[in-house]
Amino acid sequence: MKVRRIDDVSGDTVEAKVARAQIALDKGDVRGAMKELQSLDGAPAQAATPFMNQAACTLAADNATQMLTQQVLQQLSGQTGFSLEGLFSGAANDSPETLSGLPQNVPYLSPALQERQSSFVK
Q: What is the enclosing helix (H) or strand (E) of 70? A: helix 42-76
Q: Is residue 8 part of a domain?
A: no
What is the overall mean pLDDT for the chain?
75
Give the count of domains, the chain.
1
pLDDT in tens, 61-87: 999 999 998 888 877 776 555 555 665
Specify the DSSP class assigned to residue 6. Answer: S
Q: Is residue 21 part of a domain?
A: yes
Q: Is residue 92 part of a domain?
A: yes
pLDDT in tens, 45-63: 999 999 999 999 999 999 9
What is the signed CA dihedral for 109, 71, 102, 40, rounded to 10 degrees? Answer: -60
Q: Is residue 22 part of a domain?
A: yes
Q: Is residue 58 part of a domain?
A: yes
Domain that includes residue 22, residue range: 14-121
Residue among 64, 67, 48 at smallest CA distance from 103: 64
**Model-level pTM?**
0.55
